Structure 1
C-alpha cells in the first residue's frame, strides 16, 4: 500500500452495492476505505466525532428513498474538507444540479463503476474536471432556470402595463411618431404624450424606444401572421 493512500468514505444504503463497491475499491493500493455508512444518522455521527479523516467521499444521492445525500454532501465537505463525488443510479437532472450547488465536485453513474477509481484520484488531486455529462446536465439546468426567470419577468411586465399601453409600445417599435399614433388612435398628441410618460415612469426607462425594445425582447408583442 502507498505511504499516503487516499482516505475514502462510502455512503450507500444498498447493502449489496456497498459491499461490492467496497471490495472493488479495496483492490487499489492507493486508496484506503476508512469509513462506510448506510444512513444519514451514521454519517452525521461520524462527522460529529471526527474520528475518520476523509480525502474523498462517495455519497449516494438517494438514501432511504429520499435525496438525503445532497444535504450530507454539503455537511461532509464543510466539516472534513473532503471532495465529494455523488453516486446515482439515474441521471436526474435536478438532483445532480442540486448536488453541485451543495458542494459536490463530480457525479458518477453506479452502473459505470469502472470509472470511479479515476474519478476518486482526480478529486483527491483537486484536478476533477466537470465531466461532459455533468457539464451538459448543468447547462440544461441553467437554461431551464433562465427560461423560468424570463417567464417570470415577462409576466411581471405584462401585469404592469395595460393593453392600450402595450399597443402604444408596439406602434413605437413600428416607427410611428407621436402625431401618427394620435391620428391612428383618434386621440390628441397631448394624450399620447401623457400615456408615453406614464409608461416610462412605470417601466423605469428614459426613452420610448428603449421601453418598446424591452417589451419586444420580452415577447409581449403580437406575433405577425
Structure 2
C-alpha cells in the first residue's frame, strides 16, 4: 500500500497491518485525525508487513494477529529480530490467553482488542512510541498470571479445550515428530495418534499440521529450531 502523500514533521509514523480493508480505512481515519500521528503505509500480509516496515522505517506498527499468510505473532517476532527498538501494538479480535502470551513473548509492547475506542488507540500509539507499554483494561489483569510461569506455561490452561493427552500430542507435533514417532514416544497406536491430531485440529480451528505447530509454538511448546 502507498503511504500518505505529505509527511508531518515530528509526527509518530505508523504502519497498519490488517487484512480487512474497511477496518484499515477506519483506523487510518482515526489515526489521521490526530495532528501528531501519521499513517505512512499499510499491509495485509506478513510478507507485506516486513517489506513496508523495512521501506518506511515507522515509529510504531499496529498489528492484527490473523493474517492470510501467517500469524501476526510470527510477524512481530521477525520485526523484533530485525528492529528490537520498534514497538508493535497488537490490535486484534483475539483475546484468548494463548494469543496474548504469544504476543508478549515475541516482544509486543501493547495489546488491545478491536472495539477499543479511538481515544484508547491514540493513547496506546503515543504510549508505545515513547517507550511505554499499554494493554486493555481486562487484558492487563491477566498478564501477571500468564508470565509468572515463564515461557512454557500450563498448555492445558492456554488450550482449555484440549485434554491432557492431546496437549502431549500437540507438544510432539510442535517438536516436528511424525505420527509414527509420536506413537512410539507415547506408546499409542498410530490410529490413536491420528485421532488425537484430528481432534486437536477441530478444537484449535486449524486445517493443517503447520497451523497447529504455529499455534503450539506461539505459547512455547516445541522447539522453534526444529522443522515440522
Q: Please report the TM-score for the alignment, with normalisation by the length of structure 2.
A: 0.57
The alignment status of 1:133 with 2:128, answered yes or no, reads no
Q: Tell me by how many angstroms 1:141 deviates.
A: 2.6
Q: Tell me by how many angstroms 1:125 deviates.
A: 1.3
Which residue of 2 is the match for residue 111 of structure 1?
A: 115
**Where does the alignment leave 5 or more consecutive residues of structure 2 unmatched?**
1-6, 157-163, 165-228
Q: 1:83 aligns with which of 57, 82, 87?
A: 87
Point out 4+ residue stretches in structure 1 off by more than 6 angstroms. Answer: none
Superposed counterparts of 1:179-194, under 5 Å: none
Q: Tell me by how many angstroms 1:30 deviates.
A: 0.2
The alignment status of 1:14 with 2:20, answered yes or no, reads yes
**Larger RCO (CA under 8 A, 6+ residues apart):** 2
Q: Name which one, 1 or 2, has greater alpha-carbon Rg.
A: 1
TM-align CA RMSD: 2.7
- Return 15-24 or 38-47, whichever deviates more: 38-47
**Where does the alignment leave 5 or more consecutive residues of structure 1 unmatched?**
153-225
Q: Please report the TM-score for the alignment, with normalisation by the length of structure 1.
A: 0.58
- Once the two structures are superposed, residues 6-59 of structure 1 have per-residue CA deviations (whole angstroms, 9 ceiling, x without a partner) of 010110011110111111111111011111001112112334xx3201111100
Structure 1 SS opposite 2:115: helix
Cα distance in 2 between the residues matched to 1:61 and 1:111: 15
Cα distance in 1 between the residues matched to 2:51 and 2:132: 30
Q: Tell me by how many angstroms 1:73 deviates.
A: 0.9
Is the contact made by 1:96 and 1:137 (CA closer than 8 Å) also made in structure 2? no
CA distance change for structure 1 residues 147 and 32 in 2, over 3 Å: closer, same or farther? closer
Aligned residues: 147
